[in-house]
Amino acid sequence: MGALGLANRFSILDPGDIEAIVSELLATSDRARARAAQWRISAWKNSLVTPVEALSAASNDADLAAARAYQSYDQTLRSYQAVDFDDLIAMPLAALERDAAAAGRWRDRLSYLLIDEYQDTNPVQYRLLKMLVGTRAAFTAVGDDDQAIYGWRGATIENLEQLPHDFNSFKVIKLEQNYRSEARILRSANALIANNAKLYDKKLWSERGLGDFIRVVPAADEEAEAEGVARRLLAQKFEQRSGFSDFAVLFRGNHQARAFERALSAQNVPYLISGGQSWFERTEIKDLVSYLRLIANDDDNPAFVRAVTTPRRGIGAQTLDKLGAAAKAHGGSLFAAIYVDSPALDLPPRQHGALLEFGTLINGLRHRAEREAAGTLLSDLVSAIGYESYLFDTFDKAQAQSRSESVRDFVGWLSTKGAADGKNLLELTQMVALITMLEGQEGDAPEAVRLSTLHAAKGLEFRHVFMVGVEEGILPHRESVASGSVDEERRLMYVGMTRAQRSLQLSWCRRRKRAGEWHDAEPSRFIAELTQEDLRHADVPAGPEELAREKEAGNARLKSLRAMLTR
């Protein structure tokens, strides 16, 4: 490590550690501003832009502040004997460029290189590749310019474009036969991506048969869209004897998952979430669930610790230690220890009073839980603990608003669920506990619907795919439209479509809520770029021939259902 100026036992800092350093260099407590600067510094590093170059090219106040922080950033990391993830490529590259003998030794050690997902590489990675392969150029790069969807994190399609210029012996082998999707899906995917400029022209084809029509389904709003997906998913599962793991719901952004989590949970459909945080894994939801668990079972010590300390009520580690000692002495729970008369519970009046007040709150809610509507109790709980004030006192405004909205959605969902199913708060708590337990078993229990961002779904495949929110402003994203980078959004649509093996449904909303207000929405321009004869719009009647074929297919499904029911 001496060549890199690092001790043998250096540290690798994660993004959370880096954010604190950048915040200090910017002299700001604004987390959003720090994260934006952090991303900017990372982009400069991956594009081989030096701090001096970044400073001279800064065109606005945010870039100027980030460039100034960048000047001190590397020095700060070195003083900590630490590196970030970007350094793990940039520093070895710099060392090999300085030391020709070391570069030669590494080239001799590597007989052949295989680079997968080559379209996702950034400039630093390409320069390291050239350094390692040298003039012998014994390497294979596997990539697809139509799947270049990571430009936002520094990947550049120019790396693919540059290969034939830098390597005279470069040879292109096209892999055009698709073994996953049926022909209708591939025809529309080919038609879509043909609207982008091509580095290497190709056309996917399949021997798997023509396949079903691609369904295009409008919905009144996102709740109706989610409920419609859940209903059709269950119908398809029943008709085709599929497993839940045969289905995926793919969306552009993490925020879209919430409605589908609610809709699937309402139908008792198990799901896993990729590329984003599950609703029930969010900190604010875990906070409220800890109260529910404690109301349902006051022997639940982990729930007690989380609830009694969130929001803070003057109860810290020392108070909990004494409470734990009293609980151990009496063989009971931490909650029960609040009320014991024990020398171990030697607490100042303020802390003991706070514990007693907390105990009274929980006992009162438990007493009401079997008698009152769940929604009323939940609203009273959030108000009684001052949770919304706690959020705005603890987080920046944007984060606090997002978490507060998440809490309102959770309260509303449980309220509706309780009223619809005739369940009280204690019974609903058991349901939530079961959902959260199943969510933690992705490796052991994969029999579940996959909810995923389009980016996280790359490389995966499913028999049946529902692509949702296929509308202007979402896919393509409005920022991409404004910046003129629609081509990458089209590639993202292409990636999503080609995850499907047998059936594909595209849905969009006629209106959608943004920043608390309703806005009219339009179907994505990408739908018009698909092979129209392979689409079936749910709100547009088919012609006579199509109606006859669909009637025949419907009769076949009905016959199959009857056969299943008589067995």
Q: What is the CATH number of the domain that holds 537?
A: 3.40.50.300
182: in domain: no
195: in domain: no
Q: 451 and 434, same structural domain?
A: no
Q: 377 and 319, same structural domain?
A: yes
The length of the chain in residues reads 567
Domain final residue pick, 166, 199, 224: 166
Domain that holds residue 104: 99-166
Distances (CA, A) of 296 to 301, 363, 380, 467: 12, 10, 16, 38
The two tokens of residue 403 are 């978490």
Q: d(Cα 399, Cα 404) in Å, to the nearest integer?
A: 8
Burial tier of 249 (Cβ tally within 10 Å: 0-12, 13-18, 19+): buried
Alpha-helix runs per DSSP H in 385-485: 387-394, 397-421, 425-439, 454-457, 478-483
Domain of residue 41, CATH code: 1.10.10.160
Distances (CA, A) of 553 to 21, 536, 556, 560: 62, 14, 5, 11
Question: Quick one: pLDDT at residue 444?
Answer: 46
506: in domain: yes
Question: Quick one: pLDDT at residue 562?
Answer: 55
Question: Quick one: pLDDT at residue 426?
Answer: 80
Q: d(Cα 217, Cα 525) in Å, to the nearest integer?
A: 15
Helix axes 123-133, 31-46, angle to 10 degrees: 30
Helix axes 425-439, 283-296, angle to 10 degrees: 130
Domain final residue pick, 24, 55, 89: 89
* Residue among 420, 338, 337 at smallest CA distance from 373: 420
Q: 246 and 356, same structural domain?
A: no
Domain final residue pick, 394, 415, 439: 439
94: in domain: no
DSSP letter at 507 equals: E
* Degrees to nearest 5, angle at CA 496 with 493 and 500: 135
**Spans of the chain below 70 pLDDT:** 1-17, 79-81, 152, 275-279, 317, 342-344, 430, 433-446, 539-567
pTM of the model: 0.62
Q: 344 and 431, same structural domain?
A: yes
Q: d(Cα 406, Cα 262) in Å, to the nearest integer?
A: 12
Please give the helix or strand (H or E) that residue 298 lies within, else none.
none
Q: 460 and 419, same structural domain?
A: no
250: in domain: yes
Q: d(Cα 348, Cα 334) in Å, to the nearest integer?
A: 17
Q: d(Cα 103, Cα 96) in Å, to the nearest integer?
A: 5
Question: Quick one: pLDDT at residue 492?
Answer: 93
Long-range contacts formed by 483-490: CB under 8 A, 24+ apart = 485/151, 487/196, 487/197, 488/148, 488/149, 488/151, 488/152, 489/526, 490/192, 490/193, 490/195, 490/196, 490/526, 490/529
Q: Pairing relation of β-strands 517-520 and 535-537?
A: unpaired
Please give the helix or strand (H or E) that residue 491 lies within, else none.
helix 486-497
Domain of residue 341, CATH code: 1.10.486.10
Question: Quick one: pLDDT at residue 282?
Answer: 79
Contact (Cβ atoms closer than 8 angstroms) between residue 275 and residue 251: no
Q: d(Cα 148, Cα 119) in Å, to the nearest integer?
A: 5
Q: d(Cα 538, Cα 542) in Å, to the nearest integer?
A: 9
Q: 498 and 411, same structural domain?
A: no
184: in domain: no
Q: 531 and 409, same structural domain?
A: no
Q: 309 and 434, same structural domain?
A: yes
Q: Where are the beta strands (DSSP E) in 19-178?
A: 82-83, 113-115, 139-141
Q: d(Cα 464, Cα 256) in Å, to the nearest integer?
A: 19
Contact (Cβ atoms closer than 8 angstroms) between residue 530 and residue 496: no
191: in domain: no
Alpha-helix runs per DSSP H in 27-99: 31-46, 51-57, 61-79, 87-98
How many domains would you assign to the chain?
A: 4
For residue 542, the one-letter residue type is: A
The gap between the terminal CA atoms of the chain, to the nearest Å, is: 70
The two tokens of residue 170 are 């470069």
Q: d(Cα 93, Cα 176) in Å, to the nearest integer?
A: 35
Q: 154 and 132, same structural domain?
A: yes
Q: 354 and 467, same structural domain?
A: no
Contact (Cβ atoms closer than 8 angstroms) between residue 271 and residue 449: yes
Contact (Cβ atoms closer than 8 angstroms) between residue 279 and residue 410: yes
What residues are paired with 464 via a beta bridge?
Answer: 247, 503
Question: Quick one: pLDDT at residue 406?
Answer: 86
Q: 479 and 560, same structural domain?
A: yes
Looking up tokens 């389009």, which residue turns up? 454
186: in domain: no
For residue 484, the one-letter residue type is: G
Q: Give the side-chain half-sphere CA count within 13 A for 455.
A: 14
Q: d(Cα 110, Cα 28) in Å, to the nearest integer?
A: 46
The two tokens of residue 465 are 């795919």
Q: 502 and 432, same structural domain?
A: no
